[in-house]
């Protein structure tokens, strides 16, 4: 398998996840750009991957940082917009609410919440991926959980 | 295992298993944010095209700085696409590269934009005419070495988790710095303000013409204050209609608009003022940059913070820096507006008679004007007396009655003697 094939495989494997995270920070176009930037940065410096055991971790961390940088530069609209298909009349109201709650999460909680609640990682794993101490991740998840529970009405327990 | 987790249930519980319900409820939301097949295919095609170009460009393996200086051409494809969508962000970078190319500085670009080999004059010229250069640069997108350079510059801003923070502050290039404010020029920042007093005998028409002239130069209305006679007949004699209006006129149309005021009515006075705010502007610009750097380093510290106390302290500071940053950015954008839109205040007054033509200063003309003035003054005096008498008629009746009574009494006294 040559390098290009390897990269293509990596892209197919991880792009949806990277995009999903980027899309929770940015609009659809900016998220696509962010995905490109993250993967191109990886492709341009393959030696960076040599010491990386978990490629997904590298990509997710890189994507989260990239999105925060983009937002910090204030060149794009602060809020990631709702997907157009959900805005349409007749869209699923419950889903729309859930999406708006996820999009409204504070920036520092989004990546933790995504990795823990969607990707199903433990807080220690989330800490490894994002390069944060597990205690920080836990406290962020507590905050994220509080917000999500409040906004989504207790999560149907 | 389960026991260990239960021990931590409160207050810092591990949420992974316990919050399955939240996970379930938000799963749909995250799914909704997933890319569709079309977007995935598009991204993959773009990525693979870029990678293929990279492979062609990277015949000789490079490392470290050398690799950074000679970016793989493949990145350019993606960058061009990105640049097309984010024109303002790349404007300064593209302009800089074009002038460097034009100035024959291509060969000395190895050290990057900040290279000491880039002649001072060239750099200055770049920054003074970037927007045109940018347009030209985006159109002629096959200037290969130039695009390499602008790709580098953009990367400086995009690369996460690298030492680019310092770079963008110090060495990366003035283009990157400019990128943040999207303001292409470091030429003088001039704020123009003007005011004009216009009089007219046909208020309504003049008012309409003024609005027309303002619309023609796409001026924005900032404030308007109009007083009109209202109510009883004749009110117009004591209250003349006046209009005081402030426009924000695009600076390029500033002179045109001021000149066009003579078509609105007779301009009796006009003042204009230009204020150079370059220094304040560059200071604020520098403050924004320094606050951005502070913000980024605090964010990094926050990521490394191990205790909640540390986190809270850093978050406090971050909050403070962010609010300062927001204020500085607002100030910058207010100055940008002031520079782009000049403030013009027009006072339009309705008068019964326009000021005469006093351009002829010969003795005869002055004599004529003096005689006419005297006659006019005399007529006005007479009119005033008549108006006074008529306006105070009850008083005259009383005076007449008193005079008659006094006269009668005097007559009787004379007769008695």
Phi, psi of B50 (to 5 degrees): -65, -40
> What average pLDDT does the segment B279-288 reach?
90
Give the tokens for residue B216.
């023609």
Is the pLDDT at A97 greater than 90? The verdict is no
Neighboring chain B residues of A72 at a CB cutoff of 8 Å:
292, 295-296, 299
Closest Cα of chain A to B156: distance in Å?
11
pLDDT of B295 over the 60 cut: yes
Residues 6+ apart with CB under 8 A from B113: B96, B100, B149, B152, B153, B172, B173, B174, B175
**Residue B86 in this model has a pLDDT that exceeds 90:** no
Rounded CA-CA distance B33/B27 in Å is 10
pLDDT at B228 over 70: yes
What's the token pair of residue B73? 């051409």
Q: Give pLDDT, residue B394.
A: 93
Q: Quick check: B25 and A122 CB within 8 A?
A: no
Range list of β-strands (E), chain A: none
Residue B181 CB neighbour total at 10 angstroms: 19
Q: pLDDT at residue B355 above 80?
A: no
Is it the case that residue B367 has pLDDT exceeding 70?
Answer: yes
Q: State the nearest Cα–Cα gap between B171 and chain A, in angstroms.
A: 18
Nearest to B97 by CA among B87, B105, B89, B86: B105
> Residue B410 has what pLDDT?
92
B136-144 long-range contacts, CB within 8 A, separation 24+: B136/B98, B137/B94, B137/B95, B137/B97, B137/B98, B138/B83, B138/B84, B138/B87, B138/B90, B138/B94, B141/B80, B143/B97, B143/B98, B143/B101, B144/B73, B144/B76
Q: Note whether A8 contacts B40, CB cutoff 8 Å.
A: no
- Which of A26, A43, A73 to mutate to test binding with chain B, by most B CBs within 10 Å of its CB? A43
Instruction: Give dist(CA B363, CA B369) in Å, integer.
Output: 10
Q: In whole angstroms, give the CA distance from residue B86 to residue B78.
A: 12
Write out chain B residues lying below 8 Å of A14, CB-based.
none
User: What is the ipTM, given to two decimal places?
Assistant: 0.83
- Among A8, A86, A145, whose Cβ lies nearest the Cβ of B15? A145
Q: Which residues of A touch B159 (CB under 8 A)?
A: 41
Q: Check pLDDT > 60 for residue B104.
A: no
Beta-carbon contacts of B265 under 8 Å, excluding residues fewer than 6 positions away, are B198, B199, B200, B206, B209, B348
Q: Are A67 and A35 in contact (CB under 8 A)?
A: no
* Least Cα separation, residue B199 to chain A (angstroms): 46
pLDDT tens-digit series, residues B172-210:
333 333 333 334 444 688 899 999 999 988 888 999 999
pLDDT tops 50 at residue B166: no
**DSSP 8-state assignment for residue B20:** H
Smallest Cα distance from A52 to chain B, Å: 15
Indicate the pLDDT class of residue B375, thresholds 50, 70 and 90.
Answer: very high
User: What's the average model confidence in pLDDT over B397-417?
Assistant: 91
Residues of A in contact with B64 (CB under 8 A): none
On average, the pLDDT of chain B sits at: 71
Give the one of A32, A37, A102 whose C-beta lies nearest to B29's C-beta.
Answer: A102
List the single residue in A47, A69, A156 with the smallest CB-CB distance to B160: A69
> Could you report the per-residue pLDDT of B12-66, keeping only the tens digit for each?
444 445 577 788 778 888 888 888 888 888 888 888 888 777 666 554 444 434 3
d(CA B260, CA B254): 10
Contact between B47 and A40 using a beta-carbon 8 Å cutoff:
yes
What pLDDT score was predicted for residue B55? Answer: 63
Which region among A12-16, A41-45, B134-138 has the lowest average model confidence (pLDDT)?
A: B134-138
- Of the two residues B10 and B200, the one the predictor is more confident about is B200
What span, in angstroms and rounded, lies between the C-alpha atoms of A143 and A146? 5
Q: For residue A11, give the chain B residue with the closest CA.
A: B44
Q: Is the peptide bond before B58 cis (omega within 30 degrees of 0)?
A: no
Identify the H or E element spanning B155.
Answer: helix B144-158
Rounded to an integer, what distance in angstroms lies between the CA atom of residue B24 and that of residue B44?
Answer: 29
Q: Which residue has the tokens 């009787």?
A: B412
Secondary structure (DSSP) of B229-272: --SSTTHHHHS--EEEEEEEEEGGGHHHHHHHGGGTSEEEEEEE
Give CA angle at B287 (B321, B128), nearest 5°. Answer: 145
pTM for this one?
0.38
């Amino acid at each position: 398998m040559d390098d290009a094939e390897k990269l293509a495989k990596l892209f197919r494997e991880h792009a949806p996840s990277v995009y999903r995270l980027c899309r929770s920070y940015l609009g659809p176009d900016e998220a696509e750009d962010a995905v490109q930037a993250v993967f191109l940065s990886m492709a341009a410096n393959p030696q960076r991957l040599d010491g990386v055991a978990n490629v997904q971790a590298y990509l997710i961390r890189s994507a989260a940082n990239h999105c925060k940088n983009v937002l910090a530069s204030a060149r794009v609209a602060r809020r990631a917009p709702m997907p157009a298909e959900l805005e349409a009349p007749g869209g699923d109201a419950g889903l729309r609410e859930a999406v708006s709650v996820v999009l409204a999460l504070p920036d520092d909680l989004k990546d933790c919440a995504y990795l823990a609640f969607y990707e199903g990682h433990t807080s220690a794993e989330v800490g490894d991926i994002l390069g944060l101490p597990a205690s920080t991740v836990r406290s962020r998840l507590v905050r994220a959980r509080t917000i999500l529970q409040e906004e989504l009405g207790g999560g149907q327990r | 295992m389960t026991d260990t987790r239960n021990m931590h249930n409160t207050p810092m519980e591990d949420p992974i298993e316990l919050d399955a319900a939240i996970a379930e409820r938000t799963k749909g939301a995250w799914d909704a944010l997933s890319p569709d097949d079309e977007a995935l295919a598009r991204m993959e095609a773009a990525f693979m095209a870029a990678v293929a170009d990279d492979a062609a460009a990277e015949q000789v393996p490079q490392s470290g700085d050398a690799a950074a200086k000679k970016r793989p051409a493949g990145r350019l494809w993606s960058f061009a696409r990105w640049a097309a969508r984010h024109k303002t962000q790349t404007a300064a970078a593209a302009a800089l590269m074009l002038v460097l190319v034009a100035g024959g500085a291509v060969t000395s670009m190895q050290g990057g934009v900040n290279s000491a080999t880039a002649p001072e004059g060239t750099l200055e010229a770049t920054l003074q005419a970037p927007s045109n250069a940018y347009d030209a640069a985006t159109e002629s997108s096959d200037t290969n070495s130039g695009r390499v350079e602008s790709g580098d510059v953009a990367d400086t801003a995009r690369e996460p988790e690298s030492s680019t923070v310092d770079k963008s502050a110090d060495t990366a290039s003035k283009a990157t710095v400019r990128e943040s404010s999207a303001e292409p020029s470091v030429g003088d920042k001039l704020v123009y303000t003007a005011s004009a007093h216009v009089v007219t005998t046909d208020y309504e028409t003049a008012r309409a013409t003024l609005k027309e002239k303002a619309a023609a130069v796409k001026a924005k209305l900032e404030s308007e204050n109009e007083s009109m006679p209202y109510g009883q007949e004749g009110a117009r004699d004591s209250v003349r209609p006046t209009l005081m209006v402030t426009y924000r006129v695009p600076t390029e149309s500033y002179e045109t608009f001021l000149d066009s005021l003579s078509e609105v009515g007779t301009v009796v006075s006009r003042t204009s003022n230009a204020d150079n705010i370059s220094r304040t502007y560059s200071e604020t610009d520098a403050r924004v940059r320094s606050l951005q750097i502070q913000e980024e380093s605090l964010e990094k510290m926050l990521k490394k913070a191990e205790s909640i106390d540390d986190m809270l302290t850093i978050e406090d500071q971050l909050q403070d820096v962010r609010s300062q940053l927001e204020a500085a950015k607002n100030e910058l954008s207010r100055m940008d507006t002031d520079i782009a839109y000049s403030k013009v205040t027009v006072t339009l007054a309705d008068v019964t008679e326009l000021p005469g033509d006093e351009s002829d200063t010969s003795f005869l003309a002055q004599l004529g004007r003096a005689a006419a003035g005297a006659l006019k003054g005399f007529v006005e005096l007479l009119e005033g007396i008549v108006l006074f008498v008529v306006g105070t008629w009850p008083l005259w009746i009383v005076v007449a009655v008193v005079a008659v009574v006094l006269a009668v009494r005097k007559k009787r006294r004379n007769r008695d003697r």
